[in-house]
A = this chain, B = another copy of it.
Amino acid sequence: MTVLILTCEQDVTADMVVAELDGTGVPVVRLDPADLPGPVALSGEYVHGAFRGHLSVGGRLVSMNGLRSVWVRRPGVPASRVAEPTDWLTEESAQALYGMLRSTDARWMNHPDAARRARHKPWQLHLAQRSRLPVPATLITTFPQAARDFADRFPDLVVKPVSGAHPQEPPRAVPTSRVAPDADFAAVAYGPTLLQRRVAKRADIRLTCVGDRIHAARKAVDPDADPDEVDVRFATSDAPWRPADVPSCIAAGVVTYLREAQLAYGAFDFAEDAEGMWWFLECNQSGQFGFVQIESGQPIARTVADWLSAPTPPATPTNGGRAWLLEGH
């Protein structure tokens, strides 16, 4: 049973996991959907009530029914490396490849549908609440008056994008910023705005959860840091990421979150306040882990490799033989 990794050629994170998979005896196939059609070929037949599919990569033939797991790491756009790329050929190739892979019994890290859903910040906040993770008070609105009322109740606010990175080429991360006390919220009417109570934090937490295995790392905030520096991605801290113990209620919450989101992998960001409480900020289903592993020494690539190479888990009472369908959601 083969592990299939969908990613582009230059991907150090995938290299780290492939190195861990080497020597396990589990066959690994790595391909970039950008190479379909061409170096990557496929074929699937629906005859006599059954589906049989094959992938070919560099002359190596793999049965789709023999796939153990699929890691959707950083795949290229299907058919983007043909001589004359078109939207039509990309669509045909994407539907053929992912449509067939969806018909297999392979486990996904992460399933494309679950991954897509998991990007919705409003949905993340609600799922975190339901998973009993502490969520700072948050408002998403196009009503200026609602923003003003919220700022009266929670005077110390940050503003961040609803959707994440700005979709330019290459995508640009939009930093979380502090809201000035005398902010005028009239412009809220021109675009949905996400306001959140600022957590006066003493550390950033990056928690990586793979199945039900958790690695948490902590980066202390300099006590003299500028309180306007709210976004760890843009902060100037020299503190390293260090392994951290996970409070049991947080551990239970993130496992619930991933299970309900039908994700195999999630990178959670928390802010630790002065009392040690971890506040949920977001869960990135495709979050990087290389930088945390290197600084904290935690074996995250090993954990990912273990998940990918594990034998298919036995059917559980809740999904039974319908795992292929539930996983397809």
Contact = CB atoms under 8 A, between A and B. Distances in A.
A126 B328 CA distance: 12
Contacts of A122: 44, 95-96, 99-100, 102-103
A138 B50 CA distance: 11
A96 B162 contact: yes
Interface in A126-144: 126-127, 129, 132, 135, 137-143
Given A37-B189, A140-B96, A117 B42 contact: no
Interface stretch (A24-32, A81-89, A298-306): A81-89
A98 B92 CA distance: 27
A139 B37 contact: no
B189 A88 contact: no
Best-buried of A50, A79, A94, A328 by chain B (most CB within 10 Å) = A328
A199 to B, nearest CB: 14
B162 A95 contact: yes
A123 B102 contact: yes
Interface in A147-194: 150, 161-163, 166-167, 189-192
A305 to B, nearest CB: 27
A49 interface: yes
Given A122-B102, A150-B45, A328-B117, A192 B143 contact: no
Interface in A13-51: 36-37, 41-51
A77 B311 CA distance: 43
A142 B37 contact: yes
Copies assembled: 2
A93 B150 contact: no
A135 B49 contact: yes
A44 B117 contact: no
A143 B91 contact: no
A125 interface: yes
Contact of A51 (B47, B93, B129): B129
A42 B92 contact: no
Given A117-B328, A167-B91, A262-B329, A135 B37 contact: no
Given A41-B143, A99-B120, A123-B102, A129 B161 contact: no
Nearest to A42: B142
A146 interface: yes
A93 B135 CA distance: 22
Nearest to A98: B120
A274 interface: no
A96 to B, nearest CB: 4
21 contacts: A36-B142, A42-B140, A42-B141, A43-B141, A45-B138, A46-B137, A47-B137, A50-B129, A87-B167, A89-B191, A91-B163, A91-B167, A96-B162, A97-B192, A100-B140, A102-B120, A103-B123, A103-B126, A113-B329, A260-B322, A262-B329
Interface of A: 36-37, 41-51, 56, 79, 82, 87-89, 91-100, 102-103, 113-114, 116-117, 119-123, 125-127, 129, 132, 135, 137-143, 146, 150, 161-163, 166-167, 189-192, 260, 262, 322, 325-326, 328-329
Q: Which 4 A-B pairs have the closest CB atoms?
A: A329-B329, A99-B122, A96-B192, A99-B120
